[in-house]
Amino acid sequence: MRYGPPVRFVRRPDGRHLAYQVVGDAKLDLVFLFGWPTHLGLMWENPAFAGFLERLGSFSRLILVDRLGNGLSDRGPAGQAFEDEMDDIGLVLDAVGSERAAFFGCHLGGRLGLLFAATYPERTAAVVTFASHPATLPAPDYPWGVTPEQRARLLEAIEAGPRDPAEMLPRLAPREAADPSVRQWWRMFYLSATTTREAYDTVVRLGPVDIRGLIGSIRVPTLVLHRTGDRWADVHASRYMAERLPGARLVELPGDDHFPFFGDQDGVVALVQEFLTGALPHADPDRVLATVLLTDIVDSTRRAAEAGDRRWRRLLDEHNASVRRQLARFRGREVKTTGDGFLATFDGPTRAIRAAVAIRAGVADTGLQVRMGLHTGEVELLGDDIGGIAVHIAARVMAAAGAGEILCSRTVKDLVAGSGFAFADRGTHRLKGVPDSWQLFAVEPADR
C-alpha cells in the first residue's frame, strides 16, 4: 500500500473482524461510507481518492470501514441486513472511542448513514449523502429505481463470472474512463474488494431495502449532494429524499461523475466542511426510530375465568417470564406491560421479528396463545414510556392478527429483506384512527 494510515481491526460478536482506519485528529468524528464495494488498502492507490480522503481528514477525525466480506475485513457470506451493518458501525465507533459522529455516505452508504441517524440520533451529529437514493427498486411514486428485470440481468451477469470492471467507468466517471491508469486501478480495486459470490449475495440481500417511509423520522442536520448529470444514480432520487427529510439542504452540483473524488472534488469538500464545522443546532433527541412490538394473550378474559384466580396468576407469571427472557435475548426494551401483553421496542426490525417468533414458541409451552403486531417508525420518548403514531400503528396491526399470528407492516417487511424470513400477504387494511390503507404481512422464518 503506497499511502494511507495503519489498518486496525475490531472483533464482531460472531468472531469475524472488521478492518478500519483513522485519518486526522480533529474534534469532529466523520465516518466515510463509500457504499459498495470497499477496500481500505486500494482506496489510497488512486491519487484523487487519496487526496479526497486526506482533505476530509484535515478538518475531522476521519473513520473508514471495510464492510464485512469486503476489502481487508474478514471474508465469507456477504450481504448483511442493514441493521447488522449499523451494528458494525457501532462496533468501530466504540473501538475508536467515538460517542457521536457525522456521516458522509455515497450511494448505498448514504442510505445506511440515514438509517443509522434515524435509529441512533444520540450518536449522530449530521449526515451528508452523495449520489444516494432511498430505495433500489421502483414504486408508483418513485420511478427511479432498478426494475426487477434489470436487477435479474445484473444477478445473471455477476453469476456468469468476472467481467472487466472498467466497462462501468463511462457511467461512473466519464472523463476518467479513458485514462489507462484509472482503468487499471478500478479493475484492481473492484476485483480485490469482493468475490463473485459475495457480490451476488450483496445484490440479493441489500437490493430490496427501502427506507422511503422512514426518512421523515430523521432529526439530525442533513446535506444532500448530487451531480445533475450523474449517469449511474438519477438526481431525482436525491430531490425526492431532500423534499422528505426534515430541514434537509439540497445542493445540486454540475458534472456527471458519480464518485465525489472525481470531477470537482474541491467544491464537494468545501460544501461538506462548511456544513459540518459550522454552528449547527444540537437539540437533545426526544424522538427516535424504533421497531415497536405489541403482544396480547388471545382470549385472556375467558382463560382467566376458566382457570380461576390462582392458576391464572401462575400462568400469567410464566408468560411474563418467558416474554422477558426473549426480550433480553434479542436486545428488546420492555416499555411496559398491558395486563395481558407487552409493549417493547427494538433498535432493529430483524431482532424484533426473531424475538416475536421466540416469544410465540416460548408462550406455547404454557398452553397460551399470543398475537403480535410489529411496526417500524418514529416514536416519542416520554421518560420511561413512549408515544407517537408508530405505537398506534403497531397496536392496530396487532389487533388484526389472529391467534398465534405475528403481523407486521410493509415497512418492517421492506427493511428486513434478505434476513431469512418469509411473509404471507394478509391484504390491505384500514387501521382504526390511522390515515391511509396499510398492507399487512404474516411473518414466519423462511425455513418453516
pLDDT 10s digits, 342-352:
999 999 999 99
Contacts of 87-92 with C-beta under 8 Å, sequence gap 24+, read: 87/348, 88/12, 88/18, 89/31, 89/65, 89/116, 90/120, 90/123, 91/10, 91/12, 91/18, 92/10, 92/18, 92/20, 92/31, 92/63, 92/65
Looking at residue 1, what is its pLDDT? 43
Separation of alpha carbons 312 and 366, rounded Å: 11
Length of the chain: 448
Mean pLDDT of the chain: 89
Quick one: cell of 227? 451531480
Cis peptide before 37 (omega within 30 of 0): yes
Q: What sign does the CA torsion over 377, 380, 382, 388 have?
A: negative
Looking at residue 105, what is its pLDDT? 97
SS (H, E, C) 167-183: HHHHHHCCCCCCCHHHH
Separation of alpha carbons 194 and 76, rounded Å: 10
Separation of alpha carbons 289 and 167, rounded Å: 40
Question: How far, CA to CA in Å, does 44 sit from each of 31, 151, 332, 400?
Answer: 16, 31, 40, 54
Q: By three-state DSSP, how is residue 138 classified? A: coil
Looking at residue 28, what is its pLDDT? 96
Domains in the chain, CATH or no CATH each = 8-277 (3.40.50.1820), 287-445 (3.30.70.1230)
Assess contact for 246 and 218: CB atoms under 8 A.
Answer: yes
Question: CB within 8 A of 149, min separation 6: which ones?
Answer: none
Q: What is the greatest pairwise CA distance in the chain? A: 82
Looking at residue 79, what is its pLDDT? 59
Assess contact for 206 and 112: CB atoms under 8 A.
Answer: no
Count of CB atoms situated within 10 Å of the CB of 11: 12
The tens digit of pLDDT for each residue in 371-411 reads 999 999 989 898 889 998 899 999 999 999 999 999 999 88
Per-residue pLDDT of the chain (448 residues; tens, 9 = 90+): 456 899 999 999 999 999 999 999 999 999 999 987 899 999 999 989 999 999 999 999 999 999 888 899 998 665 567 788 899 999 999 999 999 999 999 998 999 999 999 999 999 999 999 999 998 888 888 998 877 787 787 777 777 766 788 888 999 999 899 899 999 999 999 888 877 777 777 777 666 778 998 999 899 999 999 999 999 899 999 999 999 999 999 999 988 999 999 988 988 998 999 999 984 444 456 788 899 999 999 988 888 888 888 888 888 999 999 999 999 999 999 999 988 899 999 999 999 999 999 999 998 888 889 999 999 998 989 888 999 889 999 999 999 999 999 999 988 998 887 777 899 999 998 888 777 788 999 988 555 4
Separation of alpha carbons 120 and 117, rounded Å: 5
DSSP 246: T
Question: CB within 8 A of 194, min separation 6: which ones?
Answer: 36, 37, 69, 70, 71, 78, 202
Separation of alpha carbons 167 and 392, rounded Å: 50
